[in-house]
Structure 1
């Protein structure tokens, strides 16, 4: 086992979430990598909206949290390498794809460990210890190299949110011919604005219930037009698009009404994608979907290959996801970090380490 000793002490303090909108800490041993595993010293671990809804507040969800160290958006530097590792070494900077699958099913072989149904499937921060601690034990095959010109905070955001957005936008083949409508301008919606620009969309419309988030998206130049969600929203979308709607629309909110706006704001023959989790939707299928010839996609996270593709392009474009971060906290400030993230007014919230 290659090693750069983490430190003289043998234990570490990590964050666990009891499910009542509070944060607790647990002291436990610093793990050691076994065959095919690496020990990653955490540098950044961001907070995802699903962490808030499904674990911190425990409102909904079938992804069972097993009282492990939280945080499924980890990024750091390898300090120990177990036997059998073939790619990474001590000192390498890595993003951790946040699910470890069985490795044998068709989805795993395609790199979509998120969709693994094997009993061995375990998500970091959900069924196995995640990134809200000084060290994370990771499977080598879930690690992606982080280029030197990207920050550790960039890497943490790629680990889930930006990867999810990249998968959705490339699946619907967004390009410079397309106007783009985003419903929900939280961190995922902001990521859509950034990657939508990079993929060539020159007219991006953002919709949110929060004027604060609309102004944030505007200040970052991630949208061209911002609309507060109300009864006039759809009319305004059509006014901005010559009565046609947008070629590509994406709902990042999970709100039934926002999903309706996304569908209704899609141009005939256009493409609509849902990435916001939770809730349901009811609509008249014939006039809204069939007669308009709309293609509706559901997209969940991304694959290892596509996450690596995204990382390479962000490095080549010198584009930094860190731009959408509005709050950074230390591990000792995790309670405040989760409170800010749960309020739903700002951009991305990240826990950073020395």
Structure 2
């Protein structure tokens, strides 16, 4: 089989591997879709020498932490719940299973230095023809969701969903989402389904257009009058929820400035910083600021159920699909910022996606 390894310095390579055999508690998946994520760009693809230690340490494994596929073999001591041909999403962090965070299903926050392993970072990920996954990390992909839907759910949409849950969004809210990349698009679409009135904010014209085509009213973040525009659209009060998916200091600061009193602010976009005067912007406005990383595995299961109920198919945020052999082209495009979500997919799934466009 073939697998993609990220070399750093904006370089990837395609390598040959033997198809693995599932061990105790493991299943073998035939990969159908595996998304590219901004975290891969920031921490592995762009740096000349990616970190090798810690939660974001890259061990030179097969890349791709958004795997979705079909079970083709089952190892010993796997629950009878799982069958060959089951369609599954892989929750992309495997936890130790023993610490308090793991026992709550929050594998992303596992405290174990040796037991915590992220697919595509510390153990082989989804940019390949097959992947070994621990059965405890599987989430059933319900019909009629596609494999590409599942790949978007595996990290990006799961991250967006966690943010909307932290903000406790409802039909009473007006939500501003800053940054209309894949996670921002997902957060805006989910907030709409949760009943809120939603506005996006984006400086890139192509991304603004893509968001508008998905039914998200999206404002030009580069406009000199953007604060006045937001206040005008919200009857002078400002949004009750701001979700920053940009990681940009200016967007974060503006979100704090335009938010109404008692608003909830969720920081999702990775990297960057923000500096602000705490008293007038946070204390005197009684704002609540949350940091939100990734959903728990139980929240991911809930998200899958809700997407079916809402008839919301997240592959709509996907702009390009490539094969494993085209991984270099996929990463170059995604790194340019001139795309929506980019997916590496099987020939069959890529054909289905193209025919559905």
The interval holding the TM-score normalised by the smaller chain is: over 0.9
Q: Decide whether the 8 Å contact of 2:211 with 2:218 is kept in 1.
A: no
- Cα offset, 1:82, TM superposition: 0.6
3-state DSSP class of the match of 1:58? Answer: coil
Runs (5+) with no aligned partner, structure 2: 348-357
**In structure 2, how many angstroms separate the alpha carbons of the residues matched to 1:315 and 1:206?**
24
Which among 208, 211, 217 is matched to residue 205 of structure 2?
211
- Cα offset, 1:27, TM superposition: 1.1
The yes-or-no answer on 1:187 pairing with 2:187 is: no
**In structure 2, how many angstroms separate the alpha carbons of the residues matched to 1:225 and 1:309?**
28
**In structure 2, how many angstroms separate the alpha carbons of the residues matched to 1:40 and 1:353?**
12
**In structure 1, how many angstroms separate the alpha carbons of the residues matched to 2:131 and 2:194?**
33
**In structure 1, how many angstroms separate the alpha carbons of the residues matched to 2:90 and 2:258?**
36
> 1:243 matched to which residue of 2?
236
Q: Decide whether the 8 Å contact of 1:183 with 1:251 is kept in 2.
A: yes
Q: Decide whether the 8 Å contact of 2:61 with 2:125 is kept in 1.
A: yes
- Cα offset, 1:26, TM superposition: 1.4
Number of residue equivalences: 341
The yes-or-no answer on 1:156 pairing with 2:151 is: yes
3-state DSSP class of the match of 2:272? Answer: coil
> 1:23 matched to which residue of 2?
12
> 1:198 matched to which residue of 2?
193
> 2:43 matched to which residue of 1?
54
Q: Decide whether the 8 Å contact of 2:33 with 2:68 is kept in 1.
A: yes
The yes-or-no answer on 1:145 pairing with 2:140 is: yes
The yes-or-no answer on 1:79 pairing with 2:68 is: no
| TM-score for the superposition, normalised by structure 1 | 0.94
Q: Decide whether the 8 Å contact of 1:249 with 1:265 is kept in 2.
A: no
Q: Decide whether the 8 Å contact of 1:331 with 1:351 is kept in 2.
A: yes
Give the alignment's Cα RMSD to 1 decimal: 1.3
Task: Write the deviation string for residues 109-131 of structure 1: whole angstroms up to 9, x where unpaired.
Answer: 11110001202100000000000
- Cα offset, 1:265, TM superposition: 2.1
Task: Write the deviation string for residues 204-261 of structure 1: whole angstroms up to 9, x where unpaired.
Answer: 221112011011100110x224223344322221122122110011000111111111
The yes-or-no answer on 1:100 pairing with 2:94 is: yes
Which among 292, 295, 298 is matched to residue 288 of structure 2?
295
> 2:355 matched to which residue of 1?
none
Runs (5+) with no aligned partner, structure 1: 1-11
**In structure 2, how many angstroms separate the alpha carbons of the residues matched to 1:167 and 1:136?**
26
Which among 330, 342, 345 is matched to residue 349 of structure 1?
342
3-state DSSP class of the match of 2:235? Answer: coil
> 1:122 matched to which residue of 2?
117
3-state DSSP class of the match of 1:207? Answer: strand
Q: Decide whether the 8 Å contact of 2:256 with 2:281 is kept in 1.
A: yes
Say which is worse superposed, 190-199 or 54-63, in terms of deviation: 54-63
**In structure 2, how many angstroms separate the alpha carbons of the residues matched to 1:134 and 1:254?**
33
- Cα offset, 1:194, TM superposition: 1.1
Q: Decide whether the 8 Å contact of 2:184 with 2:245 is kept in 1.
A: yes
**In structure 2, how many angstroms separate the alpha carbons of the residues matched to 1:266 and 1:317?**
28
> 1:6 matched to which residue of 2?
none
**In structure 1, how many angstroms separate the alpha carbons of the residues matched to 2:35 and 2:183?**
12
The yes-or-no answer on 1:135 pairing with 2:124 is: no
**In structure 2, how many angstroms separate the alpha carbons of the residues matched to 1:318 and 1:242?**
31
Q: Decide whether the 8 Å contact of 1:183 with 1:261 is kept in 2.
A: no
Q: Decide whether the 8 Å contact of 1:33 with 1:80 is kept in 2.
A: yes
Q: Decide whether the 8 Å contact of 1:15 with 1:26 is kept in 2.
A: yes
| TM-score for the superposition, normalised by structure 2 | 0.93
Q: Decide whether the 8 Å contact of 2:89 with 2:139 is kept in 1.
A: yes
**In structure 1, how many angstroms separate the alpha carbons of the residues matched to 2:218 and 2:196?**
13
**In structure 1, how many angstroms separate the alpha carbons of the residues matched to 2:222 and 2:243?**
15
The yes-or-no answer on 1:312 pairing with 2:301 is: no
